[in-house]
């Protein structure tokens, strides 16, 4: 996760860095000068690699604040109208990465009548971690061409280490792993499904909406940390709340 944010920062500053690094022709000339002076062109080799890395990042949208996939039809039989659509995004204010998948049934041929744009607008309203899953189902109910069925959200983060702004409980947990670079990574998986048709008001009937009631949402919380921190926390987070805690050994194995 730390590498993800590092990559994102590099991508944001790639063009700026390329202005500082000499171009390839200059690097070749400098390397030849070093070789003729009986020196190893180590500096030029490093700058060449940096330039190649930054050029690739500058030309490729490796990390995006928000990315939405095209809707995918799940049913194969004639008349089946079950679709799935997913979107991912970075919530900078909370240091989170979010991935959401919505399963829904189509009404009214929205994909034929230009509903893709409307669907994108709807997803824009849902994205960004601003709403609970039942609230999201309520927003989806306002779209007459969608009958929501299930929605799942995976969030990764925040990522805590020595240089983040931590409270006393997190600092205490990090202190349990004095060797190396202590860290803690949170994640959560949430799921909710609709259970039955909700009360249909006159406005719903007028606009062709078929609102659905959301059932109880399920949330599974995880915490990943070095094994020493796992041994301190047990099966709870630093605040004592129940949580699945996984310890990572020096060899990279997971201990539950």
Whether pLDDT at 227 is above 80? yes
DSSP string, 21-65: SPPHHHHHHHHHHHHHTT---HHHHHHHHHHHHHHHHHHS--S-S
Q: Cα separation of 223 and 230, whole Å?
A: 9
pLDDT tens across 61-81, in order?
A: 655 666 777 888 887 777 777
Per-residue tokens: 51: 């330039």
Beta-bridge partner residues of 49 = none
Specify the pLDDT at position 5: 58
**Residue 168 DSSP SS3:** helix
Whether pLDDT at 237 is above 50? yes
Q: What is the dihedral of CA 160, 164, 165, 170, to 10 degrees?
A: 30
pLDDT tens across 165-219, in order?
A: 888 888 888 888 877 778 888 888 999 988 877 777 777 777 667 777 888 888 8
Per-residue tokens: 168: 């006393």
Give the angle subtended at the CA of 218 by the CAs of 85 and 147, to the nearest 5°: 40
First-residue to last-residue Cα distance in the chain: 20
pLDDT confidence bin for 113, thresholds 50/70/90: very low
| CB neighbour list of residue 67: distance below 8 Å, 6 or more residues apart | 87, 88, 89
The dihedrals phi and psi of 88, each to the nearest 5 degrees, come to -130, 155
Whether the bond into 53 is cis, omega within 30 of 0: no
- Report the run of H or E that residue 188 belongs to, with start and end: strand 183-197
Specify the pLDDT at position 142: 78
CB 118 within 8 A of CB 140: no
Positive or negative torsion for Cα 84, 90, 94, 96: positive
């Amino acid at each position: 996760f730390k590498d993800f944010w590092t990559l994102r920062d590099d991508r944001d500053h790639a063009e700026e860095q390329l202005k500082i690094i000499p171009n390839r022709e200059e690097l070749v000339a400098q390397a030849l000068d070093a070789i003729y002076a009986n020196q190893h062109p180590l500096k030029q080799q490093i700058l060449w690699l940096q330039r190649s890395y930054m050029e690739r990042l500058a030309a490729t949208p490796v990390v995006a604040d928000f990315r939405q996939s095209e809707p995918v039809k799940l049913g194969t039989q004639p008349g089946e109208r079950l679709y799935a659509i997913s979107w991912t995004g970075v919530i900078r204010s909370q240091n989170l990465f979010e991935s959401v998948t919505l399963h829904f049934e189509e009404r009214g041929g929205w994909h034929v009548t230009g509903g893709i744009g409307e669907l994108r607008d709807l997803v824009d309203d849902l994205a960004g971690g601003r709403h609970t899953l039942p609230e999201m189902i309520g927003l989806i109910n306002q779209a007459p061409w969608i009958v929501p069925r299930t929605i799942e959200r995976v969030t990764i983060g925040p990522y805590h280490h020595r240089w983040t702004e931590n409270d006393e409980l997190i600092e205490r947990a990090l202190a349990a792993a004095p060797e190396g670079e202590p860290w803690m990574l949170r994640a959560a998986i949430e799921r909710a499904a609709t259970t039955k048709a909700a009360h249909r008001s006159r406005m719903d009937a007028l606009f062709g909406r078929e609102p659905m009631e959301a059932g109880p949402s399920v949330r599974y919380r995880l915490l990943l940390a070095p094994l020493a921190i796992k041994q301190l926390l047990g099966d709870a987070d630093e605040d004592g709340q129940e949580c699945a805690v996984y310890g990572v050994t020096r060899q990279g194995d997971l201990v539950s």
